[in-house]
Structure 1
Amino acid sequence: MTSAEVIGQPFVSVVIPVYNDAEGIRMTLESVIDQTYSHEAYEILAVDNNSNDGTRTVIEKYCERYPDLVQLAVEDERQGQSAALNKGIQHAHGSLIAFIDADMTVERTWLEDITKAMSEHDVEYLGCNVNIYIPEGEETYTARYNKISGFPMGEYIKSSHFVGSGCLVVTRNLINEVGPFNGNLDFSFDREFGNRVHAAGFDQHFESDIVMSHPARTSLRSLLSKSIRTGRGKTHLKQRYPERFETRSLSDPRNYLPLHPVRFLSRMMGDNDISMDELIVLYLIGCLSKLVRNLSAVYEQFQSNSSKNG
């Protein structure tokens, strides 16, 4: 038996990047350990990105309990999720590499399902569905907006040729062909990676029936922080790869107008239990998120220009 295949099953390396999230990594490790897939046919690489809380201690306890399954890797030279993911890739032994974010959970058949889907569809880049749920007792307007707007990975892979790194599975062969994530990108590195994979001619498949669960962002601050990262990532990609990432001009007034009310309403129609007052609040949250995202893109462009001129 080799690391490429064990008892007829492809060997899978599960990579979990984490920074200062002791409870999140505990949840994810419990979920990924409790799989129907043979423990001999996969490994779990928890990559600590220089946490300064109790995160590493939690990982070390799982390494002690499951020494043949869970391993700790450390990325303390560069802060950032792309660097942590690449550290996991460096340590991975599997012919398949599955990425999952700390604080996400999966069904017990997750590993069986992803290996089956990749084989049946004959693909080397697979995106999974992400279900946003509201943690018990943390129902807020922000959480509700985040749950409804969600992560439309199916739309992402069709329109932009990528899925988020937290719900992605790739082959070792693909990594060898196109390279790992761009460690110089702090934001939107998963989009750049997926775009590079598509340009290299690899088929990309989205499997809607494989569902991974992610807790909703319950505070407005956390939601807007995500908007800031998205806006900055938009500018990063446009600056570094202008030929690959054409985006609307930052001076276009449409960037700063409120959300189109009819389109917004159509997105909300899937949730029938929304009063008019709630709908107004959710609309305002959406408009604020859009504005912050685009202002962050402008700020990033301004900072870049200042650095060049200074």
Structure 2
Amino acid sequence: MPFFSVIIPLYNKENSIRNTLSSLLAQTFSDFEVILVNDGSTDNSEARALEISDARIRLFSTENQGVSKARNYGITKASGTLVAFLDADDYWFPNHLEQLSNLYKMFPECGLYCTNYERFFNADKVIKPKHIDIPSHPWQGIVKDFFKSSYIDRIAWTSAVAVPRTILNEIEAFKTTITLGAGEDTDLWIRLALQYDVAFDNEISSRHVLDAENRISLEKTLRRSYAKLDEFQEEEKQNPSLKKYLDLHRVFFAIQHKLAGDMKTYNFYMQSVDKTNIPLKAKLVMAMPVFVARKFYAFKKYLERKNILVSIYD
């Protein structure tokens, strides 16, 4: 039985899957299996993946059902002690699985293991996340307050986490009612963090690729089914950090829908938000008429192309 089962959902990533698989096969920790789930790709993704031959890779093909179902399907095929996730356009540095395995050895009772990551926009713009109350020097440990530490950037990012397989088999993993990357991973990490300790290694071991090809546009907002975040209402009443964490996500989801012209969904999210949890810059955007907010958003995207990143959530 391998120590890691690495699950890769694959949908129309012919330009990146070889690089992603190569980074996985270059790991210093080699006790793993790869479960590659081709989720009905319509390009040459599967052919490109098959160009790389390794006995540890198992390829499964399904009809296109979305990333949550693809990951859940992969979990049913997993046999490792820990399940790690890797998206088909992301990248692991050679020490990634070794860091996760060390975290597990140090903290075997945790329900979620995370390593740090970088956000790659292009060769000239690589950003290290900001985490609250996490030591800046090399550090591995139990995160004291998972939700507070994730106010600015997330402690848990999908291509940089591992979860014990026994836990994933006991709970509903990725909710299939949430689609197109609209919070299915966030929902799972919340549920795990409410039940278990979270271990974190703040050394960067992976890369979140955010080039133009991989960013989700506003045009897709109305086709996505977002996490409602309402199942945590009782917990957030007793947990101020969770409440603020959820409100920051609600504000983000609300603004996305405002920009898409869906004020009904905007109001759904905002009705649950404590106004004191809204960042000042977000308040300014929310006060704008829709057409002005869209111009602001377009200008923000223009700045990104000039390698100037602007966040309204910190």
Give the TM bin, normalised by the shorter chain. Answer: 0.5 to 0.7
Taking the TM superposition and a 5 Å limit, the aligned residue runs for 1:28-67 are: 28-38=20-30, 41-62=31-52, 65-66=53-54
* Structure 2 residue aligned with 1:212: 206
* Structure 2 residue aligned with 1:202: 196
Distance 1:256 1:98 in 2: 33
Distance 2:146 2:274 in 1: 27
- 1:131 aligned onto 2:105: no
**What percentage of aligned pairs have identical amino acids?**
23
Give the C-alpha shift of residue 102 in structure 1: 1.3
Distance 1:237 1:103 in 2: 27
Give the gaps of 5 or more residues in structure 2: 134-144, 237-245, 251-268, 285-301
Give the gaps of 5 or more residues in structure 1: 5-10, 262-276, 291-310
Taking the TM superposition and a 5 Å limit, the aligned residue runs for 1:132-281 are: 132-136=119-123, 144=125, 147-148=126-127, 152=130, 157-159=146-148, 163-186=156-179, 187-199=182-194, 201-218=195-212, 222=215, 224-225=217-218, 228=221, 233-234=226-227, 236-238=228-230, 242-243=233-234, 247=247, 250=270, 258-259=281-282
Distance 1:153 1:18 in 2: 30
CA contact (8 A) 1:75 1:87 kept: no
* Structure 1 residue aligned with 2:67: 81
Distance 1:35 1:242 in 2: 41
Q: Give CA deviations for 1:66-87 in whole Å, capped at 9, x if unaligned.
A: 1x211112231x5221111111
Query: What SS class does the counterpart of residue 58 from structure 2 fall into?
Result: strand
What is the TM-score normalised by the length of structure 2? 0.65
CA RMSD, aligned part only? 3.8
* Structure 2 residue aligned with 1:301: none
Distance 1:113 1:284 in 2: 30
CA contact (8 A) 1:154 1:206 kept: no
CA contact (8 A) 1:157 1:206 kept: no
Relative distance call for 1:260 and 1:90 in structure 2 (3 A) is same
Distance 1:225 1:80 in 2: 19
CA contact (8 A) 2:120 2:209 kept: yes
Distance 1:153 1:173 in 2: 29
CA contact (8 A) 2:116 2:155 kept: no
CA contact (8 A) 1:27 1:105 kept: yes
CA contact (8 A) 2:40 2:62 kept: yes
What letter is aligned with 2:166? N
- 1:26 aligned onto 2:18: yes
Distance 2:61 2:132 in 1: 32
Q: Give CA deviations for 1:14-39 in whole Å, capped at 9, x if unaligned.
A: 1111210112211110010112223x
Q: Give CA deviations for 1:163-198 in whole Å, capped at 9, x if unaligned.
A: 232221011122133332222222211121122213
Give the C-alpha shift of residue 278 in structure 1: 6.6
CA contact (8 A) 1:217 1:223 kept: no
The structure with more helix, counted as a fraction of residues: 1
Distance 2:79 2:86 in 1: 17
Distance 1:163 1:116 in 2: 17
CA contact (8 A) 1:128 1:153 kept: no
Number of aligned positions between the proteins: 244
Distance 1:31 1:170 in 2: 20
* Structure 1 residue aligned with 2:5: 13
CA contact (8 A) 2:178 2:225 kept: no
Relative distance call for 1:153 and 1:178 in structure 2 (3 A) is farther
Query: What SS class does the counterpart of residue 196 from structure 1 fall into?
Result: helix
CA contact (8 A) 2:9 2:37 kept: yes
Relative distance call for 1:222 and 1:206 in structure 2 (3 A) is same
